Structure 1
């Protein structure tokens, strides 16, 4: 689905407004759904209706004890917050009680890129999750997110976009979990299709209330399998995605996010 959008003319001094969506009937939420489908491939995204449902649940039902606190945050130029054609970006994710923050999806309209929109969305998401954790009387140890690195043979433009993305992760304080190819389900296929190829993703963490030095290989393994695989994707030891994500001998470590943007050949050589 293509987003039909009047180009948003930004200037370096123009203010970008960010806010949380609470009304699923808001045309800006509909515009976010169109941008979501435009900026993510089918194998990476869940049905948008699931995200709409989480927006609706924020206002129409009480959160379940121990349940996720989900948030959809939108961005637009000041004065155009009610104009779907001016939607500049969105971010969606959740606080997982007892675990940490999980940033699921983020997208910026092409006409609004390189104007600081992505950074504003990340920063606001971190603030919202810190408040959500405080309401539960919990700390916020970290926020984790995934991103799809291009295939080594992908066009140069794909790698340029990936490099720009990892630089953004750097600017917002994200660190790359080197040594892990996180294998997630392929949402372009039926979830019961055993032949569906998994989607390999790179993981990034922003330490919040826990210092970077505390993320030892053991703790990173727990973040990956104890949190993402078990709590988010419902995978247990013995499942192919779980076991192949952290094979024997895997020693994950944190590195600057920009290091993930380096292009390598299929033989592991820099190109």
Structure 2
């Protein structure tokens, strides 16, 4: 605890460095696995070994044509990039050729919050995907990510964290896909357990090479449907796909902070 406090005290006066993890055995990558489990609920996260494998693949093999270009980025105070106790945060995601960017997971250590770490991770991730798209000769129309909004009856602290998160999304240019509850598989459930409900997530989009005006309800349905098909392998006609995008669904982009409003038991914003 004393070490975390000392690092936190120095952070405002220190530059935060963001770099890509290229060695799955590096202590900083191992520290990221621990932070990953601390910052994400079990029902929202994939096995860490999948992320670790993507780190290994970046240096040991060439991406297959049309395959994802995955990246794990880490953040730490300048001069402490080799100190696992100083790991301030991580972001993991990929470029999906022919679709756009997908930011899968992001997390910031408790002691490093309100120090700009989250913003640095997002911005660097956007830059990395621009390079990937440029190498393929493709545009990067958008980057999309998911986030789990608390239950309406969740403790006030959960809603305060959610509100702070949506403000961060605002600062990095993310817009809320209003009108869609994206139903994701529950990764904490056993494969044979059919009774576990899916995890409802909110979606956020940062327009890049496509202007915000291009994201009409029809285009947003394509983007949301593409996420189900490309990432979760759910096709039209499957329960999760059709429940996410019912016929009457008319998604629209709104400021991310609008997603931070809490709903009462009667559905009113408070």
* TM-score when normalising by structure 2: 0.97
Q: Secondary structure at the match of 1:12?
A: helix
Matched, 1:261 2:264: no
What is the CA-CA distance between 1:266 and the residue it aligns to? 2.9
Q: Contact 2:11–2:112 (CA<8 Å) still a contact in 1? A: no
1:117-266 equivalences under 5 Å are: 117-225=117-225, 227-266=226-265
Residue 65 of structure 2: aligned partner = 65
Q: Distance in 1 between matches of 2:74 and 2:207?
A: 23
Residue 90 of structure 2: aligned partner = 90
Q: Deviations over 1:36-75 (max 9, x none)?
A: 0000000000000100000000000111000000000000
Q: Secondary structure at the match of 1:67?
A: coil
User: Structure 1 residue runs of 4+, over 4 Å off?
Assistant: none
What is the CA-CA distance between 1:191 and the residue it aligns to? 3.3
**Any gaps of 5 or more consecutive residues in structure 2?**
none
Label 1:13 to 1:66 Cα distance change in 2 as closer, same or farther (>3 A). same
Label 1:75 to 1:240 Cα distance change in 2 as closer, same or farther (>3 A). same
Q: Distance in 2 between matches of 1:193 and 1:228?
A: 24
Q: Contact 2:54–2:70 (CA<8 Å) still a contact in 1? A: yes
Q: Distance in 2 between matches of 1:239 and 1:97?
A: 24
Deviates more, 1:12-21 or 1:170-179: 12-21
**Any gaps of 5 or more consecutive residues in structure 1?**
none
Residue 49 of structure 2: aligned partner = 49
Residue 4 of structure 2: aligned partner = 6
CA RMSD of aligned residues (A): 1.3
Q: Deviations over 1:121-163 (max 9, x none)?
A: 0000000000011111111000000000000000000000000
- Number of residue pairs the alignment of both structures matches: 268
Residue 270 of structure 1: aligned partner = 269
What is the CA-CA distance between 1:229 and the residue it aligns to? 0.5
